[in-house]
Structure 1
Amino acid sequence: MNFDSDYRMLIGGELVTGSATLDVVNPANEEVIASVPDATQDDLDKAIAAARTAFPAWAATPIAERKAKLAALGQAIMANADPLMRLLTKEQGKPHAESQGEVMGAGYWLMAASQLDLPVTVNEDSDDRYSETRHVPLGVVGAIAPWNFPMILAMFKVGPALLAGNTMVLKPSPFTPLSTLKFGELAAQLLPPGVLNIVTGSDDLGPWMTSHPGFDKISFTGSTATGKRVMQSAAPTLKRVTLELGGNDAAIVMPDVDVEKVAEELFWAAFRNNGQICIATKRMYVHKDIYDQLRDALVAYAKTVKVGDGSEQGTHIGPINNKQQYARVLELIQDAKDKGYKFLVGGEKADVPGYFVPVTILDNPPEDARIVQEEQFGPVLPLLKFDDVDDVVARANATDYGLGGSVWGNDEDKAFEIAQRIASGTVWVNETQHLSPMAAFGGMKQSGVGVEGGVEGLLEYTNAQTIVRKKRKEAVAA
């Protein structure tokens, strides 16, 4: 298996090239590193048809066998972790260590998801009738994965969808398709033809999928703005949707924290993966009693962090993944400059090839600043002062987003109490970004619809079916 070339789509168990291609760019140097198929509508139709053909047999396959296939697929990812990691760094930009963690996490996620079970609920078992509710697969799922964590976020969808008995057509981001296509080669060896299909393409492919009548469900991870278009496009055929969308996560740092101990962890809560995480800390509210101390500690640590090519030893933070997002982050920085906000570190565009933005921290901008109100999805963090818990909870909740958040404090009970007041789908106490395949993850408000992970996420890929059997009186008497 050659990881450096020969990138083909997976349709009906066959690896296919397609009639057109699109280029993939290394964000660290803006050089084209590969070309991948640019799927046509006919390619998509074939992938959906293959998934539809494979569905009855896969749905009828005993769940124990489906579990075994998923576990084997997870093991195959782990067995190929090194070449997949290097490929992921080339296309996404993140350092090798982070790519290694993502690839291993993708394998682990499939293996863990294979341990879940579909529940059966007995509603009634009386002399008159027996009633149970079980969960049956939806059919063909269209999955659209993003560019920030292309491998593991795809597995968030592949694992539960296939375990539940559905078949799938998966579309990776056009910015990061390479590792997913190589994953497709592994899947071709382990799954029945048509159970998992992978198509790549440019901007037209996503809308073709969301509006296509051949899909029974769309699972999408991406921005809130795009998520709204996905929901609108899915409406005419009443497709089921799971939408994991944007966030503007607030961290609340209480005055009793040990600043020296938490400063590094708080830094990475905001800047891990270059801030390109939906559940990264996007706003950091710091109690006035420790504001200056934590501010200085964060700035001092930021100056030790190396920004550079993720394939180079010693790099902590890579480039922004793509030119569009790079321009978006620079625009927010320029807006902050135009408004006269104070920069503690960073704020200057790096004069080198690649989509590099230095670690940037702002000193207490106003609450209505764009950098506070909007999701930056890059290495820019506003620090904000507070002195009243009720006020900071209100400020944290004053957003259309509700994906994640965190509370930090030595008094864990107090921090836990505050966490319960945050209107977000997941709130962490004294950590952040910990997700589990055994726990539901999803957003409130405009951060999404539905959940991924856990039994709740598995059930998103099913219809509830209640079976009621009227008992014959003679059978009861017997």
Structure 2
Amino acid sequence: MEFNDTYKMLIGGELVAGSATLDVLNPATEEVLARVPDATEADLDAAVAAARKAFPGWAATPIEERKAKLNALGDAIFGNIEGFARLLTKEQGKPGTEAQGEIMGAGYWLKAFTALDLPETVNEDSDERISITRHVPLGVVGAIAPWNFPMILAMFKVAPALLAGNTMVLKPSPFTPLCTLKFAELANEILPAGVLNVVTGGDNLGPWMTGHAGFDKISFTGSTQTGRRVMASAAPTLKRVTLELGGNDAAIVMPDVDVEKIAEQLFWAAFTNNGQICIATKRMYIHKDVYEPLRDAIVAYAKTVKVGDGSEQGTQIGPINNKPQYERVLDLIQDAKDKGYKFLMGGEKADVPGYFIPITILDNPPENSRIVQEEQFGPVLPLIQFDDYDDVIARANATDYGLGGSVWSTDEEKAFELAQRIQSGTVWVNETQHLSPLAAFGGMKQSGVGVEGGLEGLLEYTNAQTLVRRKKPAFAQ
């Protein structure tokens, strides 16, 4: 496909320019990269109407045919990896290798989800009656994707929604809409008109969607604060919601680890994608017996990592994606400085164009500090010492969040026992951030409602319907 500078919305099988535009900035330069449509309420109404019109035909399409369309979408992404990756780096900021990995992940997610089927359960099959529970699509889904992984996290929603027989209106973040709009061009060649619609817009578009009576479900990925507003907005019409929200993931490092081998892996558990991952390690609890050597090894490795424009060769960490998040991370750093916490590196604003923040690591800040209690979502990591397992589990769980966590040890069985005590939707042992289309992913507490991925995630896009047929009429003699 052509990765030109023309960006249009997809509404009812037509590419629509819209009547107004939004600027999209390159976060590495703060320069205008492109202009995209700024949807009106009328544009949204048209997209919802198109999805509603397409729903009966798509829901009636045999699931094997729906799977074939998802496979074709995945193949189309794989056929344009380089173009998508270059564009993703420009709009999101991540280095080229990470951008390519995300694009490949998006294609893989669409294709891998086709391994799932909608189950049908026979509850009773007696002489008197047969009772069957099946799963039917909800209708029209409104999907709101974030800016940190705009392509793959959109596919987290597209794959199960379409496989289950729903139609969709997808809204990317106004900070990262470009790849999604190019994906819409591919989808327009593959899917029936109206099955997938893509609209772009500013701060008004999200609330218009969550309050729109034409949606049967809202699937949202973003901050916990915004998630609360999404849930409240969906309440008047009792829309179904799936909310994948924030995290303050704790890593617990046991004293038997090989410091030199694990330092690099622990660094990237926190700093992949510049820390802009909901399941990144945000707090690292290190046993006192290895705290100092591991602390020093992580800092030494961090000093070798190249931060810069993601389009430049050798860059390993790019900029923060957008100005509001950039300013929020700087505020957290300033608070830590004002409180007199010890910085092992970083802590200063980068004096260059773009939303760059140097890698920042803190040495044992207090448990009640903002830098420990709040989700940084940037290149900032507090290292915290512990010496008692019951205490560290209590500290890891003393949060409103419960998205992910990890335990690191050469004693896998002991680590696995500890992992089961962490109150998070996903807990890893000796790795982190591994997700699968075939496994449920979601948050406990205020990290979300519902799950994405796996059979459980597919069923989130369905209603359970029980059909009961009496074999012998009640009036029969």
Could you say whether these structures have the same fold, taking a TM-score greater than 0.5 normalized by the shorter chain as the test?
yes
Deviates most, 122-131 or 169-178: 122-131
What is residue 181 of structure 1 aligned with on the other side?
181
SS at structure 1 position matched to 2:391: helix
Partner Cα distance (1:109, 1:455) in 2? 14
Match of 2:39, as an amino acid? A
Instruction: Give, in angstroms, the shift of residue 38 of structure 1.
Output: 0.1
What is residue 216 of structure 1 aligned with on the other side?
216
Output aligned runs, 1:218-233, within 5 Å.
218-233=218-233
SS at structure 2 position matched to 1:394: helix
Instruction: Give, in angstroms, the shift of residue 211 of structure 1.
Output: 0.1
Deviations 1:8-30 (A, max 9, x none): 00000110100000000000000
Instruction: Give, in angstroms, the shift of residue 473 of structure 1.
Output: 6.5
SS at structure 2 position matched to 1:252: strand
Match of 1:4, as an amino acid? N
Structure 2 residue 107 is matched with structure 1 residue 107 = yes
SS at structure 2 position matched to 1:392: helix
What is residue 150 of structure 1 aligned with on the other side?
150
What is residue 301 of structure 2 aligned with on the other side?
301
Structure 2 residue 84 is matched with structure 1 residue 63 = no
Output aligned runs, 1:37-186, within 5 Å.
37-186=37-186
Partner Cα distance (2:177, 2:4) in 1? 13
SS at structure 2 position matched to 1:396: helix
SS at structure 1 position matched to 2:255: coil
Structure 2 residue 370 is matched with structure 1 residue 370 = yes
SS at structure 1 position matched to 2:115: coil
Partner Cα distance (2:120, 2:261) in 1? 47
Match of 2:37, as an amino acid? P
Partner Cα distance (2:87, 2:198) in 1? 17
What is residue 448 of structure 2 aligned with on the other side?
448
Structure 2 residue 343 is matched with structure 1 residue 343 = yes
SS at structure 1 position matched to 2:3: coil
What is residue 397 of structure 1 aligned with on the other side?
397
Deviations 1:54-97 (A, max 9, x none): 00000000000000000100010011010000000000000000
Instruction: Give, in angstroms, the shift of residue 4 of structure 1.
Output: 3.0
Percent identity between matched residues is: 82
Partner Cα distance (1:290, 1:406) in 2? 17
What is residue 460 of structure 1 aligned with on the other side?
460
Instruction: Give, in angstroms, the shift of residue 3 of structure 1.
Output: 1.1
Partner Cα distance (1:385, 1:128) in 2? 65
Deviations 1:366-387 (A, max 9, x none): 0000000000000000000000
Partner Cα distance (1:470, 1:306) in 2? 70
SS at structure 2 position matched to 1:437: coil
Partner Cα distance (1:448, 1:390) in 2? 26
Match of 1:403, as an amino acid? L
Give TM-score scaled by structure 2 length.
0.99
RMSD: 1.2
Match of 2:64, as an amino acid? A
Instruction: Give, in angstroms, the shift of residue 261 of structure 1.
Output: 0.9
SS at structure 2 position matched to 1:24: strand
Partner Cα distance (2:193, 2:461) in 1? 20
SS at structure 1 position matched to 2:98: helix
Structure 2 residue 380 is matched with structure 1 residue 380 = yes
SS at structure 2 position matched to 1:227: helix
Instruction: Give, in angstroms, the shift of residue 430 of structure 1.
Output: 0.3
Partner Cα distance (1:131, 1:258) in 2? 57
SS at structure 2 position matched to 1:406: strand
What is residue 417 of structure 1 aligned with on the other side?
417
Output aligned runs, 1:264-283, within 5 Å.
264-283=264-283
SS at structure 2 position matched to 1:263: helix
Partner Cα distance (2:256, 2:467) in 1? 55
Partner Cα distance (1:256, 1:466) in 2? 53
Deviations 1:281-324 (A, max 9, x none): 00000000000010000000000000000000000000000000
What is residue 286 of structure 1 aligned with on the other side?
286
Match of 1:120, as an amino acid? E
Extract structure 1 runs of 4+ deviating beyond 3 A: none
Deviations 1:117-175 (A, max 9, x none): 00001100011110010000000000000000000000000000000000000000000
Partner Cα distance (2:2, 2:435) in 1? 32
Match of 1:140, as an amino acid? V
Instruction: Give, in angstroms, the shift of residue 253 of structure 1.
Output: 0.1
Structure 2 residue 436 is matched with structure 1 residue 436 = yes
Partner Cα distance (1:268, 1:347) in 2? 19
Deviations 1:415-459 (A, max 9, x none): 000000000000000000000000000000000000000000000
Partner Cα distance (2:272, 2:83) in 1? 22
Partner Cα distance (1:230, 1:117) in 2? 29
Structure 2 residue 325 is matched with structure 1 residue 329 = no
SS at structure 2 position matched to 1:114: helix
Alignment length (residue pairs): 477
Match of 1:300, as an amino acid? A
SS at structure 1 position matched to 2:71: helix
What is residue 234 of structure 1 aligned with on the other side?
234
Partner Cα distance (2:333, 2:131) in 1? 60
Match of 2:340, as an amino acid? G
Instruction: Give, in angstroms, the shift of residue 2 of structure 1.
Output: 2.5
Instruction: Give, in angstroms, the shift of residue 389 of structure 1.
Output: 0.3
Partner Cα distance (2:64, 2:431) in 1? 35
Partner Cα distance (1:360, 1:225) in 2? 25
Match of 2:299, as an amino acid? V
Partner Cα distance (1:433, 1:133) in 2? 35
SS at structure 2 position matched to 1:300: helix
Partner Cα distance (2:303, 2:104) in 1? 30
Partner Cα distance (2:177, 2:362) in 1? 34
Partner Cα distance (1:359, 1:4) in 2? 34
Deviations 1:372-409 (A, max 9, x none): 00000000000000000000000000000000000000
Partner Cα distance (2:311, 2:191) in 1? 32
